[in-house]
A and B are shown apart, each in its own frame.
Chain A
Amino acid sequence: MTPRVRLVPEPRSPRLVRREMRDRTELLTEAVGALPPVYGERWLHVGERAYRQFEPGRSKLSAGLVRGWTGPLPAPGESWLYLGAASGTTASHVADLLGPEGRLYAVERSPRPFARLLALAERWPNLLPVLADARAPRGYAAWVGPALGLYADVAQPDQVAIVRTNAELFLEGAGAPVVLALKTASMGRERDPAGHLEAATRELASFVDLVPSVRLDPFHRGHFLLGGRLRGGAGGPPRSLRPVTRAARPRARRRS
């Protein structure tokens, strides 16, 4: 007999479950890979299924959920693009949410974390790692298939611009989910976190219909989760939102 564990699936993403404990609620994701743990997280086995603890202190997406994120989430069977996957802590959970039929294209620029991401991908069947600079999506488009949603956590001053160039190239049409973990500390000292949030929100709002952003304090100081759904007609944002010098832009952006 299995021990009585009550797991409540999240309606937006059923492979994400909540476990009500006496004094708190735990988040877990249903694993698409097998043990050992990816980064030391606890595993819970219920019948045939394995769940991995998704701790807000370790992942900005988890912190966002705890803080009441109402925006879109990766769901089973979808393909998502993840920018700034590092060694795969959060990416492994996003892959869990996408399930065995989904795919996660995970872009990371820095070779050492990428080495660990690659080792993870070898045993995480829906994780597809790409070693590349997210600022130059043309350089890795050959390795990324059609994507429904975009999650970004690159911690760069131009993070919203990075999201935009990738969304324009890879996402298919209006309504595509876009989620951005914003690190205000990487955006310079001219503004305080609230100022950075406001600027990023304004910039993102020019091509995404935003849901209310959430602060990730105290789990991640000075971080926010923001995003919503891509605006515009089929095939990307409407023309009116695009810079006039479109053809020249991708080239100019390349800073290799």
Chain B
Amino acid sequence: MATAVVVARLGELYLVGPDGRARSFPRAASRELPAAALPAGLERELRTLPGEVALVADEPGRAEAISAVLGRRLGLATDETLRSARRALPRVARTAERAAVLAHARATLERVLASPEEVLISLAREEERFERAVGREQRAAEAFLAPEQTSLREYAAAWAAVRASLERHHERLRDRLAEQARRVVPNLAALVGERVAARLVAGAGGVEALGRMRGARIQLLGSRRRPSPERGPRFGVLYRADRMEDVPPDRRGAYARSLAALAAIAARADATTRADLSPRLVARRDRRVEQLRARRP
């Protein structure tokens, strides 16, 4: 059966007709294809195709978008059809290809990094880095001795002012992080605290990845090594979760395990249905804390 294929290559759309010839239709400014951006020339061409010519596109989203405009169902090209259609496309000069690919790469990266989830990951990493740096600075400052009568005194006072300003910055950073975490992963943030929630998302590489993890994986996120009999247990970021402090130290492993299981439920909801499970999860968490405290000998 005769087939016509709509194929995108670099910034252009092509129609490869049943005769195997490709015609190009430059796209409007946008490189993506919202249905409305179907080039007029291409739309006209598609409408004049006889009904017995099967019409397919290279990509499901494109097939759907064009179907909506044409009011005629487009199929998805098989690998074989698509490969031969691509062979019919004109060769693109090296420099033009390179310029188009790099421009597209910059644009997609920009778009991905601007998503709420990626902003949360950036904030989480930044906050972690900052916390470490400030902690290091604090310890060093405590070891620094500045007797009254020396110029070291002035120097120490100046540094203290700098440190105070860093701490103010840190606080603002944490506020932003908390707000972003409540927006992106509300259930998880309610369960383990915003900062830990953000670090879990960063450690998993995204909300979706976190939502697919089991509790045992989540429990280890952020720990630098695997557990081993010689070197003892390991502590992931979950050990800094809300209410961990309320549990007796020798019961914290057990608490981390239960919390990880609840976190898996919370993350899955945040990644999929976005239903608010937080009251139930928090209640279960708090019951567990009480249990572990009560069993104290």
Overall SS of chain B's interface: helix
CB-nearest residue of chain B to A128: B101
Would A146 and B101 be within 8 Å (CB), given that A138-B58, A236-B79, A246-B78 are in contact?
Answer: no
Which A residues form the contact surface with B (CB < 8 A)? 103, 110-111, 114-115, 118, 121-122, 125, 128-132, 138-139, 141-143, 145-146, 168-169, 172, 235-236, 246-247, 250-251, 254
Interface segment among B41-49, B82-90, B263-271: the answer is: B82-90
Neighbouring B residues of A141 by C-beta, 8 Å: 8, 58-59, 82, 86
Neighbouring B residues of A121 by C-beta, 8 Å: 102, 105
CB-nearest residue of chain B to A110: B205
Overall SS of chain A's interface: mixed
Please pick, from B87, B105, B113, B118, the residue contacting A130 in the complex, using a CB distance under 8 A.
B105
- Candidate in A142, A143, A172 with the most chain B CB atoms within 10 angstroms: A142
Please report the number of residue pairs spanning A and B whose Cβ atoms sit closer than 8 angstroms. Answer: 80
A172→B83 CA distance, assembly (Å): 8
Quick check: A111 and B109 within 8 Å, CB to CB? yes
Please pick, from A118, A138, A145, A172, the residue contacting B109 in the complex, using a CB distance under 8 A.
A118
A132→B108 CA distance, assembly (Å): 9
Would A169 and B10 be within 8 Å (CB), given that A121-B102, A138-B59 are in contact?
Answer: no
Please pick, from B60, B80, B102, B104, the residue contacting A236 in the complex, using a CB distance under 8 A.
B80
Interface size on B, residues (CB 8 A): 34
Would you call B262 an interface residue if the criterion is a C-beta within 8 Å of the partner chain's C-beta atoms?
no
CB-nearest residue of chain A to B205: A110
Quick check: B59 and A169 within 8 Å, CB to CB? no
> Measured between C-beta atoms, what is the minimum distance from B168 to chain A in Å?
28
Would you call B106 an interface residue if the criterion is a C-beta within 8 Å of the partner chain's C-beta atoms?
yes
| Minimum-distance CB pairs A-B, first 3 | A142-B8, A128-B101, A138-B59
A142→B205 CA distance, assembly (Å): 26
CB-nearest residue of chain B to A239: B80
Would you call B9 an interface residue if the criterion is a C-beta within 8 Å of the partner chain's C-beta atoms?
yes
A246→B82 CA distance, assembly (Å): 13
Quick check: A131 and B80 within 8 Å, CB to CB? no
